[in-house]
Amino acid sequence: MSEFHENIYRSLYRIRRIEEEVVRVYPTDKVKSPVHLSIGQEAVSVGVCAALRADDIVFGTYRNHALYLAKGGDTKKMIAELYGKATGCAKGKGGSMHLVDVAAGAMGGSAVVGTTIPQAVGFAFALKLQRSNRIVVSFFGDGAVEEGAFHESVNFAALKKLPIIFVCENNFYAIHSRQEARQSTPDICKFVRAYGLPAERIENNDVLAIHDRITKAAADLRAGADGPRFFECVTYRWKEHVGPADDYQAGYRSYEEARPWVEGDQVRRIGQMIAPDARGRIEKEVETEIADAFAFAEASPFPEPGELYTDVFA
């Protein structure tokens, strides 16, 4: 297959294996913050970010490992951040939920649901005022669409015709609460269209379909088409809401529900599309990168006590 498929596989495999290593290391207490893993949901971030330019901007959620990595975030700085080390991307102060790499256009996540959506809209407004052809992508979950900030932001973005793509990662659950138990009409695209913007649902966690739709939307916005655009990407997380474990015995969902998503694993799907020798080369290179990143984090120092008084507002 093409170099494109190899690049998609590298990104998917890299995210999956990094998070599997986080799962392995987490019980040692070396990871100094809670982790919200993207295992199972990698396709959304990879499909979207592969369609963007390096100078485009993304804002994410506290489940932001996949987004940070897919947008080109530094692996060593990410693992060091999880370890709480001074060499981390937020100098050890943010942890798993606040990964940021401004140089890569990854503006970070937030522990509070929905709060990065208006930030993304503000950035898009600035780009429009600057007459830039860069675009912004705002990632959030199905739970965030119930927040007032979401509706205010979508309305403002539509009113001002901003160069922003909204991406809802719908994994059907807000923590343990199923979408149907929270939304009287669980059709996110339907009520988004009421604000006057195109909205499309992409089924089956399909990384190639996501890439195709985002590529077209981004090209339209750069060519001067009125924004914004909205995509609901249906996906599924394999691990518990927060933490490294499985939770299919917790009572709110079953493995039978998850089985089709596991069987449709996009990492395996794309891996089967490329030549075995290319796949082996990619996997070897990624494993070396991961080993180097964890070694870097292990060897890095913790922040000095004086760091408590830097990077604060008051």
List the chain pLDDT tens, one digit each, 314 residues.
589 999 999 999 999 999 999 999 999 999 999 999 999 999 999 999 999 999 999 999 999 999 999 999 999 999 999 999 999 999 999 999 999 999 999 999 999 999 999 999 999 999 999 999 999 999 999 999 999 999 999 999 999 999 999 999 999 999 999 999 999 988 999 999 999 999 999 999 999 999 999 999 999 999 999 999 999 999 999 999 999 999 999 999 999 999 999 999 999 999 999 999 999 999 999 999 999 999 999 999 999 999 999 998 87
The distance of Cα 255 from the centroid of its chain, to the nearest Å, equals 24
Strands (E), the chain: 57-59, 136-141, 164-170, 173-174, 177-178, 199-202, 229-234
Could you tell me the residue ranges of all domains in the chain? 3-300
Q: What number does CATH give the domain 3-300?
A: 3.40.50.970
